Structure 1
Amino acid sequence: MARHKIKNPVSQQTPSSSSSSSSSTATMTNNLDDTIVGIPTVQFLNHKTNHGDVNETSAANNLSSNDVINVSSSQLSKSNDLVVNDENIINEDSNNKFSHNNSHISSISNNLHQETSTLASPTTSCNKSSSPLSLLSTTLFSSTSSSSWRISKQISLIFLSSTTILSRAKQYLSSLRPGTFFTSLIPVLMGTILASKTSGGQFSWIILLATLLTVLSVHAAGNLVNTYCDFVRGIDSKRQSDDRTLVDSILTPEEVVNLGVLFYFIGCIGFLVVAIQSPARMELLAFIYFGGLSSSFLYTGGIGLKYIALGDIIIMITFGPVSVLYSFIAQTGTIRLVTLLYAIPLALNTEAILHSNNTRDIDVDRRAGCVTIAMLIGYRLSHVLFALLLFIPYILFVVGALNYSLWFLLPLITLPKAFELERRFRYKQLKSIPRQMARLNFYFGMFYLFACFMSPAHKLPGLLPRL
């Protein structure tokens, strides 16, 4: 390795300091000489101007000259002391700088030595290894660990983003209130079953799926309109509301409106598919579809039929006869008014859900300026109406079982639950009745669908001539 000489800072700085001290000493000596030479000149001039006693003046002048010489000598000695002190300070500074430079150089050399030993250690370990596989394994391990760390970091970021997207999707889904969709699903399936019974068991899956898309989209959009209008009118509040979408700020009002428009648009796309695939005339399908769409909007939007005691009628028509008739016509292309008979149990049971909810919220609706049938007729008659809506379908099933098919007794499995809900309604235990009534409606509708599906076509009232 090449060696570099390091010059001593003291040797570089000492000549300059000595030259400066010598020049200062010479300057002070010249000043002293000038002072000594100048004194007799002044005395001589005084001697020529003053004609006094020459001897006395000369003696005095000689005495003062001796004093000046003594003072100048003392100043010269002090100057020499200052020069010595300056030289000592310069030497101390030089020594400090030299020691600092030496320590800095030693620290740099130590760092270089450590880095060299660090770089040399893998080579040494590799040289000590008996097989080149150790070097390969070490390289692979280091690269694998770094790449696995990057992959795990990317996976964690993807997981966090997917979790955020999933939670947001759940919020949007809950705003649609999917727990109420079966009130639209069951009538569509009922119309499809009746259509298959009249056509020898044949039906189109494409039309069925498009019909479900159409009806469920309109239902979801209607729920969003209801959420928005009830919130704006002050009917829904944090203290009392089953729909928490806006009162808990899960979504903003603008998001609810945009989502409602989106689902109305999806419903129109589904309607176009049905109109293309169905043998029915497009004008007839459009009349039924846009009638249902208008009802879903006007229930709380626009004039707000719900707020003027007409909401119950709209619900009974939309979630019963309209849905069953629409799906039946979409499959067969014909109108059979007897299908409205099969929609009656579904419409009454669905209206029982809404009526129990309105009876529970009489005070809230009155404060908000909303008018419902339950508010108009009072609690006692509301209980009577609820009992009629609840038990008339079971009476129809018994009549159907006695005159047509015993399969119509199947929905009577849910009758004990119906009696329990009626009793709780009678004793004003209304808080949980709408939710339990919705659960009853689901099982009630599924048993009803299964009964119609299992019954022979000639034993279903009005569809085919009886044998």
Structure 2
Amino acid sequence: MQGQIEKNKQPITSHSYHIQKKSWKVWWHLLRPHTLTAAFVPVAIGSVLALQDGVFNVLLFVAMLTASILIQAATNMFNEYYDFKRGLDNENSVGIGGAIVREGVAPKTVLNLAFSFFGIATLLGVYICMNSSWWIALIGTICMIAGYLYTGGPYPIAYTPFGELVAGLFMGLIIILLSYYIQTGTITTESIVVSVPISILVGAILLANNIRDLDGDKENGRKTIAILLGHDKAVLLLSSMFAISYLWMISLVFMGMFSAWALIVFLSIPKAVKASKGFKGKKIPIQMMPAMVATAQTNTIFGFLLALGLLLSYIL
């Protein structure tokens, strides 16, 4: 069958990564595509906000969107590489791309591919800077460094209680503001406050991941917020993050900063409820996967609906 993986005749060891042909699915899974919407959503929101101000450059939007997705995908690859190097991943690990431990892709290939994605994102960043501000180069560089240091370096952010905060800051607030700024050349109060629920929900994805991996992370010396709080309190925190995101949108509409169309985000509540309930009473990682998926879907649906609500308020 075309695209079928050709298996190596020798067993795969740390010195034997010679599978000659890979199905496209191996590389697709390495990207962890379910996480890429976390890069798309903030770009879409920032760009729609700019459209409300009467400004929208399609090429800048495409460049920003592509760069954000590449940085997110590269971050996932760094995660894959460094978790393997530290012995955290094996072929039975849940929630990983599995290119190295299951498919025999050379670790160096994964690392080089991640840096290649960073390189392409940098070139796109140059184009963005040429059409906006060179200050974007500094912020973009910081974003890439944060993506690398999340699991790379001697003190990975993912091993600390600050993973959710860092992820929410960069994948929520900063990307929304960058997407808005490159279109308009300014930052507004509206662009800042609308990023808050997105930042919270991006952090919720990381929290859900850490709840699922709590026992394994604890054994490997991590100090995530889920470990510090314990399973039950971490699930309560996750539920609170969902609640705050929806209440925040109500407050923005009540204060007149956004139209009632923004409340269309409430259509995503069933996914948030499913995520919260899905973690309760579960301790085995595979049992918590549906809740983990529902958490990511909450961010995706909430974000798309928010962008849609902003667009409808502009059109109508």
For normalisation by structure 2, the TM-score amounts to 0.86
Aligned counterpart, 2:288: 430
SS in 1 for 2:88: coil
Task: Structure 1: state its 5+ residue gaps.
Answer: 1-158, 460-467
- Paired with 1:239 and 1:160, the residues of 2 have a C-alpha distance of 27
1:321 to 169, 173, 178: 173
Aligned counterpart, 2:15: none
Q: CA deviation at 1:250?
A: 4.2
1:191 to 46, 58, 65: 46
SS in 1 for 2:230: helix
1:330 to 168, 182, 196: 182
- Paired with 1:416 and 1:224, the residues of 2 have a C-alpha distance of 31
Q: CA deviation at 1:400?
A: 3.1
Q: Against the structure 1 CA distance between its residues 162 and 426, is the aligned structure 2 distance closer, same or farther, given a 3 Å change threshold?
A: closer
Alignment of 1:20-169 (within 5 A): 168-169=23-24
Alignment of 1:112-261 (within 5 A): 168-198=23-53, 200=54, 202-243=55-96, 244-261=98-115
Q: Against the structure 1 CA distance between its residues 170 and 161, is the aligned structure 2 distance closer, same or farther, given a 3 Å change threshold?
A: closer
Task: Structure 2: state its 5+ residue gaps.
Answer: 7-19
- Paired with 2:99 and 2:159, the residues of 1 have a C-alpha distance of 21
Q: Contact 1:233 / 1:368 at 8 angstroms: preserved in 2?
A: no
Q: Contact 1:275 / 1:285 at 8 angstroms: preserved in 2?
A: yes
SS in 2 for 1:430: helix
- Paired with 1:219 and 1:316, the residues of 2 have a C-alpha distance of 13
- How many positions carry a matched residue from both structures? 295
- Paired with 2:5 and 2:219, the residues of 1 have a C-alpha distance of 41
1:446 aligns with 2:304: yes
Q: Contact 1:171 / 1:250 at 8 angstroms: preserved in 2?
A: no
Q: CA deviation at 1:226?
A: 0.7
- Paired with 1:295 and 1:422, the residues of 2 have a C-alpha distance of 28
Q: CA deviation at 1:456?
A: 4.0
Q: CA deviation at 1:163?
A: 9.5
Deviations 1:273-332 (A, max 9, x none): 111222xx21x2112111111110110111211112221111011110110011111111
Aligned counterpart, 2:143: 292
Q: Contact 1:354 / 1:434 at 8 angstroms: preserved in 2?
A: no
Higher relative contact order (CA 8 A, sep 6+): 2
SS in 2 for 1:309: coil
Q: Contact 2:4 / 2:23 at 8 angstroms: preserved in 1?
A: no
Q: Contact 2:164 / 2:204 at 8 angstroms: preserved in 1?
A: no
Q: Percent sequence identity over matched residues?
A: 28
2:274 to 409, 415, 420: 420
Q: Against the structure 1 CA distance between its residues 162 and 420, is the aligned structure 2 distance closer, same or farther, given a 3 Å change threshold?
A: closer
SS in 2 for 1:455: helix
AA at the equivalent of 1:263: F
2:234 to 377, 382, 388: 382
1:361 to 194, 208, 213: 213
Q: CA deviation at 1:401?
A: 3.5
Larger radius of gyration: 1
Q: CA deviation at 1:228?
A: 0.6
Q: CA deviation at 1:410?
A: 0.8
AA at the equivalent of 2:65: L
Q: Against the structure 1 CA distance between its residues 269 and 381, is the aligned structure 2 distance closer, same or farther, given a 3 Å change threshold?
A: same
Q: CA deviation at 1:442?
A: 1.6
AA at the equivalent of 1:352: A
Deviations 1:385-435 (A, max 9, x none): 111111111112222343432112211112133223222323336342111
Structure 1 vs Structure 2 CA RMSD: 2.3
Deviations 1:244-289 (A, max 9, x none): 22220342101101111110101111101111222xx21x211211
Deviations 1:169-202 (A, max 9, x none): 332222111221110101011111111212x2x3
1:270 to 94, 101, 124: 124
- Paired with 1:431 and 1:204, the residues of 2 have a C-alpha distance of 39
Q: Contact 2:83 / 2:89 at 8 angstroms: preserved in 1?
A: yes
Q: Against the structure 1 CA distance between its residues 401 and 337, is the aligned structure 2 distance closer, same or farther, given a 3 Å change threshold?
A: closer
Q: CA deviation at 1:161?
A: 8.1
Q: Contact 1:218 / 1:296 at 8 angstroms: preserved in 2?
A: yes
SS in 1 for 2:288: coil
Q: Contact 2:276 / 2:291 at 8 angstroms: preserved in 1?
A: no
AA at the equivalent of 2:91: K
1:373 aligns with 2:225: yes
Q: Contact 2:78 / 2:152 at 8 angstroms: preserved in 1?
A: yes
Aligned counterpart, 1:137: none
Q: Contact 2:136 / 2:178 at 8 angstroms: preserved in 1?
A: yes
Q: CA deviation at 1:336?
A: 2.6
For normalisation by structure 1, the TM-score amounts to 0.59
